[in-house]
Every structure is written in structure tokens, then in C-alpha cells.
Amino acid sequence: MYFFLPVTLLVYFLIPMPGKSPKLRNYWLLLMSLVFYGWGEPRYLALMAVQMLAGWGFGLLIDLWRGKKGAKIALAGAVIVGVGSLVFFKYTNFFIVNINGFSGASIPLLKLVMPIGISFYTFQLLSYEFDLYSGSIRAQKNFFTLCTYVALFPQLIAGPIVRYADIENDLEKRSHSLDKFAGGVRRFVIGMGKKVLLANVLGEFVELAKKSGEVSVFGTWIYVIAYALHIYFDFSGYSDMAIGIGKMLGFNFPENFNYPYIASGISDFWRRWHISLSAWFRDYVYIPLGGNRVKMPRYVFNVMVVWFLTGFWHGADWNYMAWGAYFGVLLLFERFFLGKALQKLPRFVSHLYMALAICIGWMFFDSETLALAGQRIGYMFGAGADSLIGADMLYYLRSYFVPLAAAAVGCTPLPSKLAAKLAGGAAGRRVMTVLEPLAVCAALLAVTACLVDGSFNPFIYFRF
């Protein structure tokens, strides 16, 4: 925020654009993106470089052999390199642990550290290859331009998953304006505020709730609600930051969240949460499997495969796969039994159903083991709980009530609606012209103060 980003932006806008081509600026962004990534994980720059080189080479072959058998072979090669790297670094030790557990073997674990962002940039490269094979895009012949797409630092390590088609035109020719830059700054600061002022504070509350050891019904519900808000503001905050920096640089990254907690069902929720990942699995797994244009048994199979892979993508552990399977079953239940009923019921009823289902799902997501997830879900409904309300959680709730209430309001469209209402009319626009930059500056100062005074809080999705 205070060195890397200002230097990157300053030099970026000093670099000329002959013929309005951003090629020179792309090279600068590529260099700084590699510095950004290498600063945290220098050992894995080589891995990313190999993946980018393979993606570029296989992409050229797919384009060259379009419509021929060679294109399918080249696509298979791209998938083997991309998925192979992801599986090796992310899942090898998971497989070893389970092989040892089931067979009684003693295969030693490998000393692997998962490269930050590998799930995201691997999926971006795969989307590029798949779109090439389908003919919806043409191959990028300039290796460094393709590398710029893959390595762009704003969204490299935690999304959104930006497809090549999303920014193909921006890589070749993009516009810059003061309004666009100012909008990017505003979006970036909003994202930082979400992360630092809300997600980090709620994360502290969640950790206190876990460490307290209290097992009460009320305490478990407050804990899972706090966790639901924590993960939303953490991840949507990062997405806002990425989209904001993209706007500063002239790129238009896709939206990744659309107020998921106001959804009226699970299907609606997943149209609003991590939109880029849901769309990726829909377009590159679900539809190629046949989607919903198949007989019922095959449709059930397609849905469960997609959600098993979605859970597995999030983490190499059984709780993530259970989380994915849980949502697959819920979506099937909505499709065959509950969907029409939800449409007829009052919206608040369908919303309560969604909230309950999502909270149970987050218990799978945040628990280290399936057994622990089962215990916590039981506590939510009184099974195994020591009491209805515990003293520890009441104390923590009083201490963290303000950020919890702010987060509960902030995850709805209410703040943006109020801002739009204030900006209505000529007088309102004049007022907002003054208030908005003051609010952005105040938020940036508050974020800075918290960062200086606080401890390191990495984004949740770094580990996925």
C-alpha cells in the first residue's frame, strides 16, 4: 500500500503508450507482478514460469491445429501440466496420509509448501486453454502478454478467477481516465476497510469463541454467524481490492460477490458467492458433462461431481469434500422437491432457510475434522451442549457487538442504497462530491492505524 503500489502506479503512468498500445505498460506490470509474487515465494516463481510457458506453447498448438486431433492432444497436455502441478503440491500429502491410514503403510510425507495462488492461476490458464479449444478466443502469440494476464498482481493470489476473454481487449488496448482511477481507489479502500476494520476484528472474535471452550447453543450460533460474516468480508474485501487496482490500471475484472447473504435459497446463494469460481465449474465441468440436458440419474451425477470438485478445490481434507457434497445434495433437493415451494413462500421464510443451511455448511468449512463439524452442528440444536447461554459468549458479544452489527448491515445492499439516495438530485451530488473523498480518506486513515497497531492477518483464501 505504501511502497510497492505507489511505485508501480507512478512508473506505470510515466511509461508512454505509442499508438495507444499498452504493450510497454504490460511489460512493467509483468515485472512488478513477478516481484510481488517472488517477494513472498521466490522458490515458486520457476513453477509459475513453467506453467505459463506450457500454457502459451500448448495454446499456440491448440490454435494451430484447431478442429484436428492434434488440438485435443495439445489440450490434454495443458491439462496434465496444470492439474498435475496443482495435485502434486496441494494434494500429495493428503493422498499419502489416507493411503497410510487405510493400508497401514508408513509412506513418509513430502516436505511441500503449497505455492500461494496456485489454485487461482492454474484455473485461469486452464480456462484459457479450454476457451481456445472451443474456439471462443484466439491464441495470444506474445508470450509476455499472456504472462501479464496470468501474473497480474491484483488478483494473482486470491482471485477473482479472471478469464482471458474477460480482459483480452484490455491487454491489447485499454483506456485510462481520472474518473476510472478515482473509482478504482474508492473500490480498493472499501475492500481494505472490509478486510481490516471488519474481517480482522470478526476473526479475533471467532478465535476467542473457539478458545473459550464454551459449549452452549447460543454461543455456537453467535460463533457461526460471526464466522459467516468474517469469511464474507475477508474474501469480498480482497475481491474489491483486486477489482479496484484493476480499474486504476485500466482493466475491468469481473465481479465476484453480489450480496450473497440476502439470497432466497441455496441456488441463489451460489449465483452470488464467489461468482467467478461457480461460473468456472459451470462452464468447464458441469456443461461438458451434459449439464441438465440429460436423464435424471446422470444429472444427479453431474451435480455431485461438480460439488465434490468444488469442495476438493478449497482444501485437501475430508471436511471440504463433505462441505461440497452437502451443497450438492441441497441443490438437488431444491431442484426436485423444494424449489417451487420456496418461490411460493414469503421471502423471509426462504431467506431463513438459506441462512440456516449456509451456517451449517460453514461448520463443515471451519472445522478441522468431520467429527468436530458434527459436534458443532449438534451444539447448534442443543445436542451435546452444556447450556442454552454461557457467560463467556455473552461477555464476548458485548465486546464485539458493534463490529458484528456493522457487518450484519454491511453485507446487505442497505449502505449502497443510502449512498445512492444521498446522491440523488443536483444538491445531493454536490454534497457527495465533498463527502465521498472525505469518507474514503477517513477509511484509509482508519485502516492504516489498524495495520500499524495490529498483527498480521492473512486472507483466508490464501490457503486455498
Return per-residue pLDDT of the chain as tens, 464 residues.
889 999 999 999 999 999 889 999 999 999 999 999 998 778 889 999 999 999 999 999 999 999 899 999 999 999 999 999 999 999 999 999 999 999 988 899 998 888 888 999 999 999 999 999 999 999 999 999 999 999 999 988 887 999 999 999 999 999 899 999 999 999 999 999 999 999 999 999 999 988 888 889 999 999 999 999 999 999 999 999 999 999 999 999 999 999 999 999 999 999 999 999 999 999 999 999 999 999 999 999 999 999 999 999 998 899 999 999 999 999 999 999 887 888 888 888 999 999 999 999 999 999 989 999 999 999 999 998 888 988 888 888 999 999 999 999 999 999 988 888 887 777 777 877 888 888 889 989 999 888 887 766 666 666 56
CA-CA distance, 90 to 118, in Å (whole number)?
9
Given a contact cutoff of 8 angstroms between Cβ atoms, the answer to whether 238 and 195 are in contact is yes
Rounded CA gap, 419 and 436, in Å?
9
Q: How far apart are CA 128 and CA 106, in angstroms?
A: 40
CA atoms of 232 and 274, how far apart (whole Å): 10
Q: State residue 338's pLDDT score.
A: 83
The alpha helices in 260-314, defined as continuous H runs, are 266-272, 275-281, 296-314
Query: Is 206 within 8 Å of 225 (Cβ atoms)?
Result: no
Tell me which residue has cell 476438493. 312
Cα 54 to Cα 137: distance, rounded to the nearest angstrom? 18
| Catalytic site residue from 176, 230, 274, 314 | 314
Q: At what angle do helices 347-366 and 318-333 cross, to 10 degrees?
A: 160
The reported pLDDT for the residue numbered 353 is: 93
Q: What is the spatial distance between Cα 33 and Cα 347, in angstroms, rounded to a whole number?
A: 45
Angle at the Cα of 452 from the Cα atoms of 451 and 457, rounded to 5 degrees: 35
pLDDT given for residue 113 in this prediction:
84
CA 78 to the chain's CA centroid: 24
At residue 65, the pLDDT reads: 94
Whether 314 is catalytic: yes
Give the separation between CA 353 and CA 341, rounded to whole angstroms: 12
Distance, CA of 362 to CA of 354 (rounded, Å)? 12
Taking a C-beta distance cutoff of 8 angstroms, is the pair 265, 334 a contact?
yes
pLDDT of 462: 60
DSSP string, 291-360: TTSS-HHHHHHHHHHHHHHHHHHH-SSHHHHHHHHHHHHHHHHIIIIIHHHHHHS-HHHHHHHHHHHHHH
Q: What is the pLDDT of residue 379?
A: 93
